[in-house]
Amino acid sequence: MERTLFTPKEARYPNNQSNGHYQLEMQSTNQPQSSHTSTSRSSDSGEPCGDGKWASKLLRECARAISEKDSTKIHHLLWMLNELASPYGDCDQKLASYFLQALFCKATESGQRCFKTLTSVAEKSHSFDSARKLILKFQEVSPWTTFGHVASNGAILESLEGESKLHIIDISDTLCTQWPTLLEALATRNDETPHLKLTVVVTASIVRSVMKEISQRMEKFARLMGVPFEFNVVSGLKSLGELTKEALGVQEDEAIAVNCIGALRKIEVEERGDVVRMLSSLQPRVVTVVEEEADFSSSKTDFVKCFEECLRFYTLYFEMLEESFIPTSNERLMLERECSRSMVRVLACEDEKGHDGDCERRERGSQWSERLKEVFSPVGFSDDCVDDVKALLKRYRTGWSHVLTQGDDSSGIYLTWKDEAVVWASAWKP
């Protein structure tokens, strides 16, 4: 018999205008069960726990039910989550809301469509001004992104010391907010200000639309700093796997640095080795890699494991956002919404060839290190660089710290939030 997971009477599509609530109406519970018969209808899963962490319980159960294809349970849990979730509530409610969307898509196999909708909505509401405001505000209240910037800039400056023609290849999604401080350092530190060529590689369509404005600002700012500057954008790539040496415009006499911030996770898992090899073919002096510390690579094989990891990571992220921003912050809301796209992408979209949009399968620092060690060798961060990181973290609220890795398991620095590693930064050379 066919697998009837879920046939709602009325399932309106996720409405992303003013509220992300689902309007689901469940059928009566007489559904033909597939192989697994779930006997346990645990009644306690509906009650909010004493410690308030009901969302993770419910969500985990739901994920398990989905992987077991227990449709009764799935119904029940989705319904309950829907009742309790809200993108405007506390952390639990928010997590419930966004994960509910992803789980729903997974259960109904509508992940692709949902992702496309979410992406097009985001594109329409984004502009240069809003994107700029969002990221600058985020960087002001949290070192989540600036940590990677400071570590990478330090490594780049040190490895390119003394060179007169610099070429930095920037594969990141932080809209060039990393570069003003580097430009300032180039202008003030060295006696001879070198020539800097910056090539930015963008894949996300949201980022592409604002690159024009960004390039103007960067050029103006470099002029202001007195740094000879050239700015290029490589867009139009469907995925980073298509990137080639020629497309980057690399020249012989340049000293090259490759800066990958949140970039490697955007590559489809199978293509990652190839891209790393391509990067090494550019013969860079240094490759800086910054990634969020989470392992979403097991989605195909073990959904529940991947889900638990997702839950863990985004719980940390949402809590961090809640403690960093003011309660009524618009920016936090927008950042949370961006997470919802990642969640749907990771949990509910099967990796198909030619899939639109970026992959979001993060891996841990140790995993990336394994990949990178095939072609590169790690470069430790200098004491100065680590001091810069320390000074940076001091400027933010408490809770942030860093950990230097020892041994060759994974080299680099970890940013920790309440003693949990959240971001990993590393430097490599051929």
Partner 1 sequence: MVEFENPSGLTVSAASPEASICSTGNQTAPSVAPPRKKRSLPGMPDPDAEVIALSPKTLMATNRFVCEICSKGFQRDQNLQLHRRGHNLPWKLKQRTSSEIRKRVYVCPEVSCVHHDPSRALGDLTGIKKHFCRKHGEKKWKCERCSKKYAVQSDWKAHMKTCGTREYRCDCGTLFSRRDSFITHRAFCDALAQESERSHQTLVVASTEGGLKVQVVPPPPPPPASCSPPPPHTPSTGVLSPVLSIQSSELPENPSGILQQQGATGLTTTTAAATASGSSTSSGTVSSSSGVFASIFASSAPAGVSQSSQSPSSYTDLICAIGSDRAVAEPMSLSLSSSLYLSNNSSSLFPPSEQDHHRHYAQAPQPALSATALLQKAAQMGATGSNSSFLRGLGLAMPSSSYHQDNSSTGTASQWNSDGKQENNVVASGLGLGPPGSDLMMGPSSLFGNKPTTLDLLGLGLGSGGGSSGGFEAFFTSIGGNLDVAAAAAAASYGGVSSGGGD
Question: How far apart, in whole angstroms, are the C-alpha atoms of residue 59 and residue 63?
Answer: 6
- The DSSP symbol for 26 reads P
**Binding of residue 133 to partner 1 (CB under 8 A):** yes
**Binding of residue 12 to partner 1 (CB under 8 A):** no
How many helices and strands (H and E) does the chain possess?
Answer: 14, 11
State which of positions 382-401 bind partner 1 (CB under 8 A): 384, 387-388, 391-392, 394-395
Tokens of 212: 């024009």
Q: For residues 240 and 275, is the Cβ–Cβ distance under 8 A?
A: yes
Among 316, 315, 307, 306, which residue's Cα sits nearest to residue 77?
Answer: 307
**Binding of residue 101 to partner 1 (CB under 8 A):** no
State which of positions 323-342 bind partner 1 (CB under 8 A): 326, 328-330, 333-334
**At a CB cut-off of 8 Å and minimum separation 6, what does 160 contact?**
166, 194, 255, 257, 285, 286
**Binding of residue 233 to partner 1 (CB under 8 A):** no
**Binding of residue 188 to partner 1 (CB under 8 A):** yes
Distances (CA, A) of 205 to 119, 210, 237, 248, 271: 9, 9, 10, 19, 20
Question: How far apart, in whole angstroms, are the C-alpha atoms of residue 202 and residue 235?
Answer: 5
Choose the stretch contacting partner 1; rule: CB under 8 A; options: 25-33, 183-191, 228-236, 275-283: 183-191
**Binding of residue 179 to partner 1 (CB under 8 A):** yes
**Binding of residue 7 to partner 1 (CB under 8 A):** no
Question: How far apart, in whole angstroms, are the C-alpha atoms of residue 428 and residue 279?
Answer: 11
Q: Residue 81 phi/psi, 5° resolution?
A: -60, -40
State which of positions 113-132 bind partner 1 (CB under 8 A): 125, 127, 129-130, 132
Choose the stretch contacting partner 1; rule: CB under 8 A; options: 216-224, 295-303, 309-317, 367-375: 216-224
**Binding of residue 250 to partner 1 (CB under 8 A):** no
**Residue (6 or 381) nearer to partner 1, CB:** 381
Total of residues contacting partner 1 (CB under 8 A): 45
Choose the stretch contacting partner 1; rule: CB under 8 A; options: 72-80, 134-142, 164-172, 269-277: 134-142
**Residue (145 or 315) nearer to partner 1, CB:** 145
Residues that bind partner 1 (CB under 8 A): 17-18, 125, 127, 129-130, 132-133, 136, 139-140, 146, 150, 177, 179-181, 183-184, 187-189, 214, 216-218, 220-221, 223-226, 326, 328-330, 333-334, 384, 387-388, 391-392, 394-395
